[in-house]
Amino acid sequence: MAEATQPDLAVALGRLRLSWPTLMGSGCYGSGEEYAPFIDLAALGGVVLKSVTRHPRLGNAAPRLVSTPSGLLNAIGLQNPGIDAYLENDVANFADRPCAVIGSVAGFSVDDYAYVTERLAARDEIDAIELNISCPNVGTEGETFACDPSLAEAATRAARGVTDKTLIVKLSPNVTDIAAIARIVEAAGADALAVINTVRGMSIDVDRWTPRLGNANGGLSGPAIRPVAVLAVWEVARAVKIPIVGQGGIETARDALEFILAGASAVGIGTGNFTDPRVPLNVVDGIRDYLAARGHSALSEIVGKANPRFAGVR
Amino acid sequence: MYTLERSPAVHRTVVSDRREPVPGIVILGLHVPHLASITLPGQFAMVVPPSGEQAATALGIYEAEGERVSLMLVVVGPRTRELAALQIGAPLDLLAPLGNGFELDALGDNVALIAGGVGIASLLLPAQALAARGARLTLLYGARTAAALVDADRFAALGAKVVLATDDGTRGHAGFVTELLRALPKHAFSGLAACGPSPMLRAVGRAAAYLDIPAQLALEETFACGVGACWGCVVPHAASSVGTPVGLIRAKRAEPPARESDRFCYARICKEGPVFWAHELRW
């Protein structure tokens, strides 16, 4: 008896081919190595590495995390060794990863984005680049790029000019019209969009009269932001043709399917890994079962199916 | 092969026994085949919530023998409430063992263990290991009130001299356990090992410096990942081998030039710790 054919879950983001439609969110997954004892990395579509900047960054003062209802507020502050030390000490370790390895670049000027992208993308260990133009936790500079259309365009164009590898641009939800930014970033040469980064937030200790985070404000992630993220994907999917990586509070296959039906081709999982490192496996298994039960042969068949004005390419 | 055998994993356990010595403090015994033998004193577990509706919780490993480990938890919120409600036979998954554990050999043969509240949970395994190699033990154990002092007799049974303190004076010294250190002469012990809330550990660190006794502190912290991935649980630490950027604690001071002791980095409590030498912390 012939076995039933498994639905095809592979995804293309520009030139990048993912075996599974799951990317581990930048900053939540280290370099992947930290989670290797708990999950087979080959079962992941890819790992988006922790962001790297031109110069070393000490990071923000503690506390850097606060639990909030159904959410996690963080302000890490892009702690990283800087691109020189990163290339020298870290990148070689990524060579044997059995999933896609996506470098994440953060910056404080257009030139930073070009410089760090060029150096990082030149390494064979790196399969693609995510441009983090939306970090909310480094003063006003970090997120400015995702919130100002001309800067978002300039940073994307600068990075596009220095690499042929897949360029994913990570957008901020902290804007009035995310679709307008998405259109501009697409026109500037992005191959894909990651939607969304964290939502700005704050928690205050009413006994001590002070914000709970060392950095005062932070970025909110987890199930609390999922409806915000699904709507952002819905709106962006009506505005651009390039694929979208939908992310924000995904913990189950049904959560992921909301994003896919809104128009995402793949999903990002970040905070969900902190509940259980097997969440990415459960998401893939659940999506496969869902497609099989409905008689679909490929994930691409259902992308954007809840979104009547889906403008993307399946 | 040594490192491979000791490497952490997802362990599927089953609640084998459950004890609530005081209302609000629960000790969960877990049946798990291959964890006790690779657990080092001072290591912890990330406990995966059975409901999948909460983030995982870090708990120090209290007991570890044969095919059983146990965890001590205080009910403080929804995560611990869910765990405290587990009954015998319930499955519970752990990521374990995590963190570095104590360097017990560096503490000498006359060791004081200093526990604040459920910090006691991270000190039983060190006490057993120290007793096994013949070290003289003293337990200084403080809690809010007499009823919240748990299992001090376990330490006495290992031969430890037990000195108690309660905030409300219902048992032992009335006041903080760290106040007991003030009356001691220099070099009263060959080493200190402490676990408890941060203000207590800072006080232990200051006392250890004054008494000139090497001290290892097991930090209690809320983790997100617990495995070194997210950099959320950091503590300022002497600039070292952690491989992360170094800053200056008094960066604004122009003169005199920064000393070596001003240089620090942010170390991950879950990865480089949770046990740190007191003299290397810059908090």
Q: What pLDDT is attached to residue B6?
A: 73
pLDDT at B259 over 90: no
For residue B260, the tally of other CB atoms under 10 A from its CB is: 7
Contact A64 B56 (CB under 8 A): no
Pull the structure tokens for residue A222.
Answer: 């987890």
Closest CA to B163 of B184, B189, B138: B138
pLDDT tens-digit readout, B130-153: 999 999 999 999 999 999 999 999
Amino acid at A47: V
Note the pLDDT of residue B55. 85
Architecture of domain A11-59+77-202+219-302: Alpha-Beta Barrel (3.20)
Q: Give the separation between CA A285 and CA A293, rounded to whole angstroms.
A: 12
Contact A275 B247 (CB under 8 A): no
* Burial classification of residue A68, based on how many CB atoms lie within 10 Å of its CB (0-12 exposed, 13-18 middle, 19 or more buried): middle
Q: Closest to A28 (Cβ–Cβ): which among B9, B10, B230? A: B230
Other beta carbons within 10 angstroms of residue A295's beta carbon come to: 8
Kindly list the distances between the CA atom of residue B62 and the CA atoms of A11, A177, B45, B69, in Å, as whole numbers in the listed order: 45, 52, 10, 7
* Domain B104-220 class, CATH top level: alpha beta
Q: Does A88 touch chain B (CB under 8 A)?
A: no
What is the 8-class DSSP label of residue B229?
S
pLDDT at B77: 86
What is the pLDDT, as a whole number, of residue B242?
A: 53
β-pair type (B191-196, B215-219):
parallel
Model confidence at B158: pLDDT above 80: yes
Chain B CB contacts of A81 under 8 Å are 243-245
Q: Mean pLDDT check: name the lowest of A137-141, A224-228, B8-12, B177-181.
A: A137-141
Residue A157 has pLDDT above 50, yes or no: yes
* CA-based nearest residue in chain A for residue B271: A34
Q: How many residues does chain A have?
A: 314
CB contact under 8 A, A37 and B52: no
Chain B residues whose CB is inside 8 A of the A271 CB are 55, 224
Give the model's confidence band at B105: pLDDT under 50 very low, under 70 low, under 90 confident, else very high. Answer: very high
- For B2-98, give the CATH class: mainly beta
Average pLDDT over residues A282-298: 97
CA-based nearest residue to B267, from B217, B213, B212, B199: B217
What per-residue confidence (pLDDT) applies to B53? 77
Q: Are B236 and B266 in contact, with CB atoms under 8 Å apart?
A: yes
- Work out whether the CA dihedral A27, A22, A230, A272 comes out positive or negative: negative
CATH topology match: B2-98 vs B104-220:
no
Measured N-to-C along each axis, helices A279-293 and A253-262 cross at an angle, to the nearest 10 degrees, of: 60
Residues on chain B touching A71 (C-beta within 8 angstroms):
none
- The domain segmentation of chain B, as residue ranges, is 2-98, 104-220, 234-268
pLDDT reported for residue B251: 46
Q: Is the pLDDT of residue B253 over 80?
A: no
Tell me, rounded to whole angstroms, the distance of Cα B255 from its chain centroid. Answer: 38
Task: Express each pLDDT in A160-186 by its tens digit.
Answer: 999 999 999 999 999 999 999 999 999
- pLDDT exceeds cutoff 50 at A2: no
Report, as an integer, the average pLDDT of A23-47: 96
Closest CA to A232 of A307, A168, A302, A283: A307
pLDDT at A107 over 80: yes
Mean pLDDT of A280-286: 98
**Touching check for A297 and chain B: CB below 8 Å?**
no
Q: Amino acid letter at A207?
A: D
Quick one: pLDDT at residue B51? 84
Per-residue pLDDT tens for A12-31? 999 999 999 999 999 999 99
DSSP secondary structure string for all residues of B65-87: ETTEEEEEEE--SHHHHHHHT--
- Helix segments in B14-115, DSSP class H: 78-84
Q: What are A191's two structure tokens?
A: 């191959």
Whether A147 is catalytic = no
CB neighbour list of residue A12: distance below 8 Å, 6 or more residues apart? A18, A243
Residue B1 predicted with pLDDT over 50: no
Q: Which residues 218-237 in chain A show a CB within 8 A of chain B?
A: none
Q: How far is CA B238 from CA A292, B199, B235, B262, B265, in A?
A: 55, 19, 10, 8, 6
- The CA-based angle A213-A218-A221, given to 5 degrees, is 115
User: What is the per-residue pLDDT across B204-249, written as a single tens digit (0 to 9) for each?
Assistant: 999 999 999 999 999 988 899 999 999 999 999 987 655 666 665 5
pLDDT at B159 over 60: yes
- The confidence score (pLDDT) of residue B182 equals 86
3-state secondary structure chain A: CCCCCCCECCEEECCEEECCCEEECCCCCCCCHHHCCCCCHHHCCEEECCCECCCCECCCCCCCEEEECCEEEECCCCCECCHHHHHHHHHHHHCCCCCEEEEEEECCCHHHHHHHHHHHHCCCCCCEEEEECCCCCECEHHHHHHHCHHHHHHHHHHHHCCCCCEEEEEECCCCCCHHHHHHHHHHCCCCEEEECCCEEECCEECCCCEECECCECEEEECHHHHHHHHHHHHHHHCCCCCCEEEECCCCCHHHHHHHHHHCCCEEEECCHHHHCCCHHHHHHHHHHHHHHHCCCCEHHHHCCCCCCCCCCCC
Which residues of A are less than 8 Å from B236 in CB distance? 62
Mean pLDDT of A46-53: 97
**Residues A38, B49: C-beta atoms closer than 8 Å:** no
Q: Do B55 and A275 touch (CB under 8 A)?
A: yes
Asked if the Cβ–Cβ distance from A30 to B245 is below 8 Å, we say no
d(CA B99, CA A197): 29
Q: Which burial class, exposed, middle or buried, applies to A216 when counting CB atoms under 10 A from its CB (0-12, 13-18, 19+)?
A: middle
Q: Mean of the per-residue pLDDT values for chain B?
A: 91
- Per-residue pLDDT band for B3 (boundaries 50, 70, 90) equals very low
Which residues, in sequence order, are CB contacts of B57 under 8 Å at separation 6+? B46, B47, B49, B73, B79, B80, B83
The answer to whether A208 faces chain B, any CB pair under 8 Å, is no
* A65: chain B residues, CB-CB within 8 Å: 222-224, 230, 232-233
Distances (CA, A) of A131 to A48, A123, A144, A191, B53: 11, 16, 13, 11, 31
Cα–Cα dist B210/B183, whole Å? 12
* Inter-residue contact B80 to B73 (CB < 8 Å): yes
